[in-house]
Amino acid sequence: MTQAIRNLLMDLQDTGSLARVRFLIRDLDAKYPALIDEILSGAAITTVLTGVRMPRMNAITGRWVKTLGTELLDRTLV
C-alpha cells in the first residue's frame, strides 16, 4: 500500500497536479499504516479520517464521487 501511495505521488508530480491536491479522505482500515500519513504529510497533503461506525458515510461519498465523475466526464471529448 505504501508503494502505491508513492506511485500516486510520482504520477501527480509528473502531471503537475500535485499542488492542487490538499486532502485525502480515507477510512480507519488497518491496511493504511502510519507511514502513509507521513509520506502524504511530506507532500503537504492532509489525511482526513472518516468517522467510526458511520456506514452511511461510504454510500454518501460514493454517490458524490459518481456524480462528480459523470458531470466531469460527460463534458470530456475523447
- 77 against 36, higher pLDDT: 36
Q: By the 8 A CB rule, do 72 and 39 touch?
A: no
Give the chain's largest Cα–Cα span: 41
Cα–Cα distances in Å, from 25 out to 20, 34, 67? Answer: 15, 14, 17
Q: Convert the pLDDT of each residue in 19-75 to its tens digit.
A: 888 998 887 878 788 888 899 999 999 998 887 777 787 788 889 888 888 888 777
Q: By the 8 A CB rule, do 50 and 29 touch?
A: no
Q: Any idea where the domains of the chain sit in the sequence?
A: 2-73
pLDDT at 77: 66
